[in-house]
Amino acid sequence: MPINSKRRNYAEVFTHEQDGEVYQRISRVNYSIDSEDSYVKFYFEGLDYIRDMPRDCFMLFCKLMEHCTYAGPDDVHGLNDSFVIHLTSARKKKIAQEMGYSSVKPVSNLLTELCYGEALVRMETACYRLNPYICSRGAWADIISVREQ
């Protein structure tokens, strides 16, 4: 039985209307599974790239994945904000502190390095997108549509 699931048994009996004789019995078991935790999908072809990153770049990349949006359909304006990270100055400062830096300058340098290495794409000021060939979040159909852009 799946972890964190609830089991429900259902029984249905079908009878003939005229004589009341049972002609079919059906038993069903339904499982209700709790929602799963947030997740990130890594792809094997992207793992080699991630493994070769400097340690601090890898740590920042992992921190950024926590703030990444899920893959989803385009909005009404035709914009797709899948795998986007909106990196405000407050968020950047918090990440710098979590990584043990006293200023945001090293984080900015690591962001530039991740962009040069094509792990991130700088969309505009303080807005980045994860490379969907390395890792992603969301439904597979939405991930494919982002990869094709």
Distance CA 136, CA 130 (A): 7
Q: How far are the Cα atoms of 44, 61, 127 from residue 67, in angstroms, in the given order?
A: 22, 10, 11
Residue that wins the pLDDT comparison between 26 and 122: 122
Tell whether the torsion through CA atoms of 112, 114, 117 and 118 is positive or negative. Answer: negative
| Structure confidence by residue, pLDDT tens digits, 57-94 | 989 998 888 888 776 655 433 456 777 888 999 999 99
Residue that wins the pLDDT comparison between 144 and 118: 118
Distance CA 13, CA 149 (A): 52
| Structure confidence by residue, pLDDT tens digits, 3-46 | 455 556 556 666 666 676 666 666 666 555 555 555 677 777 77
Distance CA 1, CA 64 (A): 35
Does position 115 have pLDDT exceeding 50, yes or no?
A: yes
The per-residue pLDDT for 1 is: 41
Confirm if 87 and 69 have CB atoms less than 8 A apart: no
The per-residue pLDDT for 50 is: 74
How far does CA 2 lie from the centroid of its chain?
Answer: 22
